[in-house]
Structures are given as structure tokens and as C-alpha cells.
Amino acid sequence: MFMTKFEEPIDGKECEQLQTFLRGDNAQFVSWFNDCWDMQNAVEEDLKLETFDQFSAVFNEIACTDWSKMTSDGENFGGPWNAPEESEEYKNASSLCMEDNAQALWKVAAVYTPDAVLYAVNYLCGYRAESVAQVRDLCAWVSARM
């Protein structure tokens, strides 16, 4: 099996280049790869998030604040943030953006599971990569390698 945590041995001829790479000082890569492994395992741990409300509640707890500043299509300070400042839409722009993003991520969760999507949200916040597209792409990338 190719995908494994780096504390465990890696078997198989297809891993020869990876093993060569790992003989050097590549702590950042090892850390990143293990994070991806943990993301895959999050799918197996299943938080039993069966409804949008459950998913949204967890998303609102773990999402970094930049999720409240952009629309689900990735536009910074778009959507409700463009409304007149005295409008209710503008006053609630932060929560409206969070709701918009939660709904878009729920659609991604239908493909990759809610657990994997929330793990990706949490992981990507550390890299200032808060967008539905980046969460979707990370889930797809990890899924393709499992």
C-alpha cells in the first residue's frame, strides 16, 4: 500500500522515489503528508453528521474568521458586503457569508463526506486558504490518492 503514515514502513517499488526523498531532511513534507493521512482517517472516524444543521454547527465552530468575509464563489467582501452600509444585509454580512459557505460545503460533503470536508476546512485555515473551491480540491486530491 502506498499511502501510510511515515512512522510505518512504505512497501512497494512505486514508492522508491518517495523513500529516496524521505532519506533527506523533509520534515515539512512528512508533516503535510501525515496531515493528509489524518484527513483520510477522519472519513473513517465519522462524526455522524447527518443533517445540514449538524454540519453547519460544527463548521461555525471550526471555521476561521475569513470564511465570514467571502462568498461561496471565493469573492472577498462580495455579496452582502456590497450592500449599502445601513442595510440589514450589510449588517448581517458576516453571518450571511458563513451560511452561504456552509451550504456550499454541504454540497461538497455529499461527495466526500462531512467529516473530510470539515477536516479540510480546519486544515486549510492554517494556510490562509479559506474557500469552497480549495476545500473541494483538497478533498478530491486526497481521495484520488487513497
pLDDT, the chain, mean:
77
DSSP codes of every residue in 74-118: S-BT-GGGGS-TTSHHHHTHHHHHHHHHHHHHHHHHHHH-HHHHH
Q: Which residue ranges make up each domain of the chain? A: 50-144
User: Helix or strand or coil: residue 2?
Assistant: coil
- Write phi, then psi, for 98 (nearest 5 degrees): -60, -45
For 65-90, how does the pLDDT look when each residue is reduced to its tens digit (9 = 90+)?
899 999 888 888 999 999 999 999 99
Q: Output 12 or 39, whichever has higher pLDDT.
A: 39
For 90-125, how does the pLDDT look when each residue is reduced to its tens digit (9 = 90+)?
999 999 999 999 999 999 999 988 888 988 898 888
